[in-house]
């Protein structure tokens, strides 16, 4: 039932004429040549647009890093550091699934078909992807250290306890210190770069700051039947979902920058905005962005249709779902139940 009626496509032709007039001159100068904006391959672009080499039980470290071919620096570290290939796979899953989830009801839905175009400049979306990927990597490494999944790192060392409070540092904390160091090294964030590179680096740094912002003290109770007369605490990062949600807010307040001076200013004033270089591609012109339109996309609700479908209309599709209901025991001893079927209708809205 999720299929979109093809016949509606004809309707579009008429709407298109209107769109040409309205949006024709708003089409951004987005089509820059070159692979990525800096003319080089980037790890984040690869993370979002390439398949990670499937990890099999007998894969060698070299094989597991094969997807990083062409990225000399990252490939070298990946091959050397035991446990890292698995973490990179985990990072990809986190970053990509967060992107898809966050953009589910946006004009651009983080789809694989268009994602490469987003690395030809630094759009608002690109900025978010850089910060998502960086925070995912730092998050995954921090956890891995605490869980003993990565060589050369372990639980975070804690601060000194005071003798006033009824708690003490203990247990195993997420190692953000090590994770930040490795993330910076892996993503070459210390390296001096050209202007677009500095924009991407800045967004990565925002990602790392947001991870640290989500570090909280977690405590375990001790004492007779957990009476909590004594507690041990460690620092733990909140679930990645919360980090992604903060970055999503920063995406909405992202600001355009023109030069490195703008970034220097933001750094000096300890700002935490995501930054971008070019306005986002416009999906509302008749040919869509990169040949993709929002036709056939499902809206979250009617209000969402108003933006998701551009100026086009939407269709309401009623789907019927069958649920089990009014269940009763048939033979209690045999654990058999007898249920009725109840039907439930739900309306979905799709862009024309």
Ligand X SMILES: *[C@@H]1O[C@H](CO)[C@@H](O)[C@H](O)[C@H]1NC(C)=O
Instruction: Tell me which residues touch ligand X (CB under 6 A).
Output: 51, 56, 58, 100, 109, 111, 162-164, 292, 296-297, 302, 316, 347
Q: How far apart are CA 66 and CA 69, in angstroms?
A: 6
Q: How far apart are CA 244 and CA 103, in angstroms?
A: 12
Report DSSP state, residue 332.
G
**C-alpha distances out from residue 145 to 64, 94, 216, 220, Å:** 20, 17, 17, 20
Q: How far apart are CA 312 and CA 23, in angstroms?
A: 13
Element (H, E) at 133: helix 124-147
CB of 163 or CB of 261, closer to ligand X: 163
Q: What is the smallest separation between the CB atom of 156 and ligand X, expressed in angstroms?
A: 23
Q: What is the smallest separation between the CB atom of 347 and ligand X, expressed in angstroms?
A: 6
Q: Do the beta carbons of residue 114 and residue 290 sit within 8 Å?
A: yes
CB of 7 or CB of 51, closer to ligand X: 51
Q: Do the beta carbons of residue 326 and residue 340 sit within 8 Å?
A: yes
The conformational region for residue 25 under phi > 0 = left, psi -120 to 50 = alpha, else beta, is: alpha
Residue with tokens 């160091």: 181
Residue 72 buriedness (CB in 10 A; 0-12 / 13-18 / 19+): exposed
CB of 115 or CB of 277, closer to ligand X: 115
Q: What is the smallest separation between the CB atom of 296 and ligand X, expressed in angstroms?
A: 6
Q: What is the smallest separation between the CB atom of 191 and ligand X, expressed in angstroms?
A: 29
CB of 286 or CB of 296, closer to ligand X: 296
CB of 163 or CB of 225, closer to ligand X: 163
Q: What is the smallest separation between the CB atom of 80 and ligand X, expressed in angstroms?
A: 20
Residue with tokens 């990927």: 133
CB of 109 or CB of 183, closer to ligand X: 109
Q: What is the smallest separation between the CB atom of 71 and ligand X, expressed in angstroms?
A: 16
């Amino acid at each position: 039932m999720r299929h979109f009626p093809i016949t509606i496509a004809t309707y579009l032709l008429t709407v298109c004429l209107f769109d040409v007039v309205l949006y024709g001159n708003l089409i951004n100068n987005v089509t820059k040549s070159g692979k990525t904006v800096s003319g080089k391959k980037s790890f984040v672009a690869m993370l979002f647009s390439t398949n990670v080499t499937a990890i099999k039980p007998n894969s060698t470290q070299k094989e597991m890093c094969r997807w990083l071919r062409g990225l000399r620096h990252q490939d070298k570290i990946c091959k050397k550091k035991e446990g890292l290939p698995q973490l990179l796979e985990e990072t990809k899953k986190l970053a990509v699934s967060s992107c898809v989830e966050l953009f589910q009801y946006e004009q651009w839905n983080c789809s694989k078909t268009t994602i490469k175009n987003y690395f030809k400049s630094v759009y608002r979306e690109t900025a978010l992807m850089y910060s998502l990927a960086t925070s995912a990597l730092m998050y995954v490494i921090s956890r891995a250290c605490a869980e003993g999944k990565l060589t050369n790192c372990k639980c975070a060392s804690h601060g000194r306890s005071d003798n006033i409070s009824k708690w003490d540092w203990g247990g195993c904390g997420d190692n953000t210190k090590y994770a930040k160091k490795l993330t910076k090294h892996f993503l070459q964030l210390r390296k001096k770069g050209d202007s677009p590179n500095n924009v991407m680096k800045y967004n990565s740094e925002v990602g790392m700051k947001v991870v640290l912002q989500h570090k909280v003290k977690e405590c375990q109770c001790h004492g007779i039947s957990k009476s909590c007369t004594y507690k041990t605490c460690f620092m733990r990062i909140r679930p990645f979902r919360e980090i992604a949600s903060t970055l999503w807010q920063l995406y909405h307040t992202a600001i355009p920058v023109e030069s490195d001076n703008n970034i220097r200013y933001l750094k000096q004033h300890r700002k935490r905005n995501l930054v971008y270089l070019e306005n986002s591609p416009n999906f509302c012109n008749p040919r869509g962005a990169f040949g993709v339109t929002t036709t056939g996309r499902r809206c979250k609700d009617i209000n969402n249709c108003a933006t998701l479908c551009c100026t086009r209309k939407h269709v309401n599709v009623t789907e019927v779902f069958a649920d089990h209901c009014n269940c009763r025991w048939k033979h209690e001893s045999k654990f058999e139940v007898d249920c009725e079927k109840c039907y439930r209708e739900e309306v979905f809205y799709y862009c024309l």
